[in-house]
Amino acid sequence: MSNPSNINLLISNDDGIFALGVRTLANTLAQVGYHITVVCPDRERSATGHGLTLHRPIRAEIVEDFFNPNITAWSCSGTPSDCVKLALSTLVDTRPDFIVSGINQGSNLGTDVLYSGTVSAAMEGIIEGIPSIALSLASFSSRQFQPGADFAGRLIQQLQDHPLPDHTLLNVNIPPVAADGIAGVMLTRQGLRRYIENFEKRLDPRGKSYYWLAGELVTEIEQPNHIHLPNHIPTDVQAIRQNYITLTPLQYNLTDVASFEYLQTHKWLDW
């Protein structure tokens, strides 16, 4: 097993540089001995997806006296994707061995990953060919980040000995329970989460209307079929309800293989 001091980690998030989740994660991994650089948004940037800052400058400042003294930490005015891109191109001298995003406050299950800034920060890593992990605590109120941080350390050690296939992101969700309440670790497929979109209309002090998104989660009833995986494999949504840590491998290639073969067979595109 590799010496942790020889392993470089880049850590980011979408909850902001002063979030408890990223502090717990970074400090825990620093205590293991990893060489860590943290680059996070200067404020919460949840649900920004792969948004990039194109029409205004991006600023980055060193953050002191918040993390373990062995950690180099930066606060960035941009999105989570901006943070990773800026770090890789400018802020870090040595290419990271892993990129870790989180620990997010709130789950990133099923189709949430399409909107998640946490997952997008990790996705930037695999676009650059760097093994990446997204970590989320499946609660908006629990502060039980330590089990997820401890698990991240064990997971990185495993991945050092058994590297992921190229361009694979591990999306990890941690149940909001104490360590002794976690049922285990389960390899899962991506589930489906549906929301009732509710835009509440309000008035500002000048009497002009604006809208506030307040979507409500609809409980998942049926699990989606998968092109390649059998239905008996649980989804991340199912497994987290049973207090399992869920491991879901993701990729950025969204090509629909079944539809490609269908279109190819029917020759719809003949000129």
pLDDT of residue 114: 92
172 in a domain, yes or no? yes
196 in a domain, yes or no? no
221 in a domain, yes or no? no
Domain region containing 22: 4-189+229-259
pLDDT of residue 50: 86
198 in a domain, yes or no? no
pLDDT of residue 216: 60
**What CATH number is given to the structural domain containing 130?**
3.40.1210.10
| Listed residue (70, 145, 67) closest to 104, CA to CA | 145
CA 25, 28, 30, 34 dihedral sign is negative
Q: Considering the entire predicted model, what is its pTM?
A: 0.91
pLDDT in 10s for each residue of the chain, 271 residues: 567 878 999 999 999 999 999 999 999 999 999 999 999 999 999 888 888 889 999 999 999 999 999 999 999 999 999 999 999 999 999 999 999 999 999 999 998 999 999 999 999 999 999 999 999 999 999 999 999 999 999 999 999 999 988 899 999 999 999 999 999 999 999 988 777 777 888 888 998 998 877 766 555 545 666 767 778 889 999 999 999 999 999 999 988 888 888 888 876 666 5
65 in a domain, yes or no? yes
21 in a domain, yes or no? yes
| Listed residue (108, 102, 111) closest to 147, CA to CA | 102
A 10 A CB-CB count for 64 gives 9
Give the chain's end-to-end CA distance (angstroms, integer). Answer: 57
pLDDT of residue 217: 59
pLDDT of residue 104: 97
Count of domains observed in the chain: 1
The answer to whether 78 touches 124, Cβ cutoff 8 Å, is no
